[in-house]
Structure 1
């Protein structure tokens, strides 16, 4: 029997034959598979709201297997239960922090739209919670923001920028007292957008000069809103006001140049553009993480601080999470983890074999492992590459999606 269930109902032993997302949007490269681990469940819950299961090939919601399958037993033998449970708890904690931050910030933004002051304890709590998780595992948190999601809200965007800014700050060793200001400024950098008319925010066509002039007022609106809130650090206010300034003096609102722009504002200028380029939006093309980094890098000194751009690239990794890469073997894979010791050798989830045929079984390759020393990344593929679209369509046909 085929039935659609919430991902909250998932259990090991269920046979998944469909999800509410396209296959390219989630880190599974087959849509039909038997759930054999908590990690698979956690990943499905992170990316999907519902899945379709086949109760003739696996367990039903109310009919869980009493004994483990052979595959499950192999997994259990390979990984201690306590270690798996600990990692599961961490992943759930990161996801919970990410989602709760958006929920709380959305409430704060709703209050701001009504002219109320920003709730300082709430925003402080968001920044502190995200900072703790960034310190624990910045790559895990960055991985969350690269999950494709049509929910293009100001709260999501702002939390994403905060995570990226904190990871950036951690990498370059920003002092603890400055980290809070960096995180707070990043979180609230676009709070003035709540005062911009929806007709401008949701417009799909290019803005007229008059509309752009209104849009560029959001920095000033943001400062005005925060002036009602006590104990906002000056460094955070500078971020809110100056994150659209550019190194060549052609930004706004003050047309500051180079070092006239504060360090933290220069950092958020970089991460906010990166976030915008890689976030799935209904009105703009989404770039791969690598293409977005290339844009930042090739902009040179005219737009962004070139030294900081290089450090940001180092913070994310040469091949950031989410990149689709082709190996010298002809195989395609997606970067799922950056190796901190060797950023040129990430961990991949393989998508195809050398003949560009979709894999039917999950295969993880750590390029840093000695046995993979002869495997190299030949190139990266853009998300709009025709070959990726072809694989997506073939996968949908083969799996009845």
Structure 2
């Protein structure tokens, strides 16, 4: 159902807190970060006057208050606030700083995406070699992991980005990188050693290589019985170890993490149905991240959940499958609003969380929808330094299609750490 965005023209004198407005001038001709927003303070109305904006357009469907009535027979009194332009000058200065910060943020995201694409290329390269030259391929993976581990340990605060990379259902490389990154992030949160974090990353990167031995028909052919499909697919952890066993330099901990990445604490997993006390202490980290990723990006896209929904589902419905301390560390690492979460802001706008600083979980960076701004120029707001806050996470079903197309949450479910 299309959102009702009908608007009415109003003079500035009829504005009050709660009215959602559109400013009918160029973005660079006013002191606000957005062309449209809900008024949250009287000082915003003062700023409109000081900027010599005579009228705006109000959108009743997005407002929480009505415009002030026109008083018949009385001259509208305009407060001569424009004489003191200190507030306006300060706000314009703030906006300039915000624009510079936004440009810096875009550069950081581009650098992160460049690093991600580089890592993705290396993973694809080693995967293509795994069957013919397993020793070389897995040694390459260990070199990649050494670099990643060093980078992660060097940072006090981990910055988790969403990166724009459309996934192919049969392309497991993005999944491997996300499992690798998130597992290492949890390892750091838990205070694990450098070697243990590296083991988690290596296992995350290589956990599904056994699927290379499984013909694609078992994933795509509807004529294959579900029982046969289940039997064959559940062999992939053992197939992965068959590859790994060809490489003497891979340690025993990594091998266990890989073969146990579908095991659960209650013994309901596979291939051996082991309970937590029989598992490697960190196997459930990889298992948990693997499930989270598959909830976000299943083979059947119609069953996909948002990052926020996936995390909530793990915590509320799947606690018995995982280690409670590790699950808590995962939740604390991603926060209430994980990257990829669609959110409603308190200024009436809609955005998507694109970056989470693990030290400031309630104030992620959000890309904001504005139909007047091209998507590649969309405002990216660091909520840690803004008065704008998140009111709630949104279900994709509740968001208009044109807004979802702009924010594009489905094509951005790959994670990378800055």
Secondary structure of 1:170's aligned partner = helix
In terms of mean alpha carbon deviation, does 332-341 or 290-299 score higher? Answer: 332-341
TM-superposition CA deviations, 1:205-230 (whole Å, max 9, x none): 89611121111111111111111111
1:105-254 to 2 correspondence within 5 Å? 105-114=123-132, 116-117=134-135, 119-135=137-153, 140-144=159-163, 147-152=164-169, 153-203=171-221, 208-254=226-272
SS at match of 2:344: strand
Map 1:4-153 onto structure 2 (within 5 A).
Answer: 78=97, 91-114=109-132, 116-117=134-135, 119-135=137-153, 140-144=159-163, 147-152=164-169, 153=171
Gaps of 5+ in 1: 1-32, 35-73, 353-357, 397-401
User: Structure 1 pair 207/292, CA: closer, same or farther in 2 (3 Å)?
Assistant: farther
Measured in 2, the distance between the counterparts of 1:165 and 1:104 equals 19
Q: Tell me the SS of whatever aligns to 1:325.
A: strand
Q: Quick check: which has more Rg, 1 or 2?
A: 2
Cα offset, 1:387, TM superposition: 2.5
- CA deviation profile, 1:330-351 (whole Å, cap 9, x unmatched): 4322223335444223333332
Partners of 2:208 and 2:233 in 1: CA distance = 11
Count of equivalent residues = 314
Question: Taking structure 1 as reference, are residues 340 and 248 closer, same or farther at Cα in structure 2, changes over 3 Å only?
Answer: closer
Cα separation, 2, equivalents of 1:120 and 1:359: 48
Residue from 331, 343, 348 that aligns with 2:361: 343
Displacement of 1:149 after TM fit? Answer: 1.1
Tell me how large the CA RMSD over aligned residues is: 3.6
- TM-score by length of structure 1 reads 0.67
Distance 2:236 2:355 in 1: 36
- 2-structure distance, mates of 1:102, 1:387: 31
Shift of 1:303: 1.8
Q: Provide structure 2 residue ranges, at least 5 long, that are not aligned to the other structure.
A: 1-25, 28-92, 409-418
Q: Aligned pair in 2 of structure 1 residues 159, 368: CA closer, same or farther (>3 Å)?
A: closer
1:108 match: secondary structure: helix
